[in-house]
Amino acid sequence: MLKGRLRSAIVLGVAGLTCVIGLSGVADAAGLAPQLRSPKGGKAVTAGHVKLTVYVPDPSNAINGHIFLDVSDKRIVKKGLLESPKNCGFHCDIGTMKRVGHSHLYTYVDPYHFTGNWQDTPGKYYWQVYYYPKGGVIGVLPSGIGAFRIVG
C-alpha cells in the first residue's frame, strides 16, 4: 500500500513539474509577442495615410528582423492567426513593417492610394502582426487581433 502511494506521489510530482515547465515556456513566448500600439480598440482613423504602429519586446528574436502585418475587412481567425478572405480585393493587405530607428517600434503605411484601397475606404478593419522567432521552436509569434475604423 505504501509503495502505491509513493508511486502515485512521484507520478503526480513529475506531472506537476512538467506542467510548470511547459507553462513557463508559453509565458515566455507571450512576453516576446508583438503588441499593437496604434490605432487601438476600434478607434476611428481618417481615410488616407493610415499609420499602424506595433511594439516588439525583443526585435533580435525575429528572423532577419522581419515583422509581418495582416489587415483585413473580415475577422476570420484560424489557429490564432487573422486570415484574409478570398476575393477581398483591395480591402486586405499583407506587408512587412519597418523598424523605427533602433527602437522596439515598427510602423507600416501603405504606399498606394486609390479609390477602393483599404485605407481610403470607410469601414471596420482588423489587423494582426506576427514574426517567426529564431530557433523555430514555437513557429509563429502573433500579436492579438486589433480593430480600427476608417472614416470619411
C-beta atoms surrounding 28 within 10 Å: 10
pTM of the model: 0.77
The verdict on whether omega for the bond into residue 39 sits within 30 degrees of 0, i.e. cis, is yes
pLDDT at 26: 42
C-beta atoms surrounding 38 within 10 Å: 15
Structural domains in the chain, CATH included, are 33-151 (2.60.40.10)
State how far the alpha carbon of 140 is from the alpha carbons of 21, 29, 89, 132, in Å: 20, 10, 26, 5
pLDDT at 149: 94
Divide the 152 residues of the chain into consecutive groups of 10 and give the mean pLDDT of each group.
53 41 42 92 88 94 92 93 86 90 90 79 93 82 95 86
Are 62 and 51 a contacting pair, CB within 8 Å? Answer: no
pLDDT at 91: 83
